[in-house]
């Protein structure tokens, strides 16, 4: 059994992001969550893995900037202050500047050899500001006047002997005492990408944290490209099933920490967007033609 740092066991909890990466490529999961926790290794350069872990996916940059800009305005909402679209847009532009100077050191695909598309950062900025405009025009009026409860904090819910972590974009209590957990989506609206496991984990946490009956909690997916909102509700029985999935998923991922137990699942486009493509011997990132999908 590999010798892992003490902090690994303190932070080894279930999360939807871990679940998603495990299903995408188990070897990438190992590099990110286990390889970086090794005390010593003859197989990998642990320091190199830790450095690569900080890269940002090209497709996720706009969403990350939009989430961060909204978060700063939710800080104001939590303090009873007026939210401000102009301040949000300025924050987005300021944060994006951290990526423009050395994109190959910041963006996964550029680090992996993809040529930076023309006007890439300009398009990211325009798209992000547009989504902020949608948030303030169509979504904020639904939230304004509700009671702020929580936003962008790591929280935990215990299911059996497994601790699950969640980080909701925003949780509010409405006038009818219903708790709404919001999840901002900056990508395209496609039900195929919606996960009952992720949304159920949010509702499970909220119902426990606020001692609320499941019927008094719901999750809302907010698509900032269109302003459309998709509402999800869960019964007590459905939440029980979510809990069972969390426990089985966690135990499956922790049955071994040996690298060989985490099989690679390479593909040119997938590897091109992998943080660890330049150190993984199975990577096919060099076989992806052009600038990517």
Average pLDDT, the chain: 95
> Do 136 and 167 share a domain, yes or no?
no
* 133: in domain: yes
pLDDT of residue 292: 45
Task: Mention every residue, 6+ apart, whose C-beta is less than 8 A from residue 237.
Answer: none
What is residue 68's predicted lDDT score, i.e. its pLDDT? Answer: 98
* Token output for 246: 């969390």
Residue 152 lies in a domain: yes
Percentage of residues in the chain having pLDDT higher than 90? 92
Q: Which residue(s) pair with 173 in the sheet?
A: 147, 179
Residue 23, in any domain of the structure: yes
Query: Which domain covers residue 280, as residue numbers?
Result: 6-54+263-287
Domain count, the chain: 3
Task: With respect to residue 257, please indicate whether it lies within any of the assigned structural domains.
Answer: no
Residue 220 in any domain: the answer is yes
- The answer to the question of residue 49 being in a domain is yes
Contact 186, 225 (CB under 8 A): yes
In a domain, 1, yes or no: no
Q: What is the pLDDT of residue 290?
A: 58
- CA gyration radius, the chain: 20
Task: Examine the domain organization and report whether 175 and 97 are in the same domain.
Answer: no
> How many CB atoms within 10 Å of residue 47?
9
Q: What are 54-100's pLDDT values in tens digits?
A: 999 999 999 999 999 999 999 999 999 999 999 999 999 999 999 99
Same domain, yes or no, for 128 and 168? no
Cβ-based burial of 253 (10 A; exposed 0-12, middle 13-18, buried ≥19): buried
Task: Evaluate whether residue 17 is within a structural domain.
Answer: yes
Give pLDDT < 70 ranges for the chain. Answer: 192-194, 289-293
Q: Which of these three, 143, 173, 203, is where a domain ends? A: 143
- For residues 225 and 188, the answer to whether their CB atoms sit within 8 Å is yes
Over the stretch 265-282, which tens digit does the pLDDT of each residue have?
A: 999 999 999 999 999 999
């Amino acid at each position: 059994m590999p010798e892992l740092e003490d902090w690994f066991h303190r932070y080894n909890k279930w999360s939807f992001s871990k679940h998603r990466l495990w299903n995408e490529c188990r070897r990438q999961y190992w590099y990110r969550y286990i390889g970086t926790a090794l005390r010593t290794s003859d197989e990998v350069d642990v320091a190199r893995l830790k450095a690569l872990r900080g890269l940002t996916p090209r497709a996720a940059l706009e969403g990350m900037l939009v989430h961060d800009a909204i978060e700063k305005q939710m800080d104001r909402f939590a303090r009873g202050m007026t939210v401000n679209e102009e301040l949000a847009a300025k924050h987005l532009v300021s944060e994006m500047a951290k990526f423009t100077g050395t994109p190959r050191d910041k963006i996964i695909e550029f680090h992996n050899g993809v040529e930076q598309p023309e006007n890439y950062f300009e398009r990211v900025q325009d798209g992000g500001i547009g989504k902020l405009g949608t948030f303030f025009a169509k979504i904020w009026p639904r939230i304004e006047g509700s009671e702020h409860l929580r936003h962008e904090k790591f929280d935990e819910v215990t299911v059996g002997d497994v601790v699950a972590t969640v980080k909701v974009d925003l949780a509010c209590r409405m006038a009818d005492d219903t708790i709404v957990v919001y999840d901002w989506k900056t990508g395209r609206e496609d039900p195929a990408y919606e996960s009952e496991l992720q949304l159920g984990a949010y509702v499970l946490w909220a119902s426990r944290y606020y001692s609320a009956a499941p019927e008094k909690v719901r999750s809302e997916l907010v698509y900032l490209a269109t302003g459309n909102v998709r509402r999800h509700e869960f019964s007590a029985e459905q939440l029980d099933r979510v809990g069972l999935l969390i426990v089985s998923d966690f135990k499956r991922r922790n049955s071994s920490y040996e690298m060989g137990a985490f099989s690679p699942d390479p593909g040119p486009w997938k590897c091109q967007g992998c943080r660890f493509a330049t150190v993984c011997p199975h990577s096919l990132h060099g076989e992806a033609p052009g600038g990517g999908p």
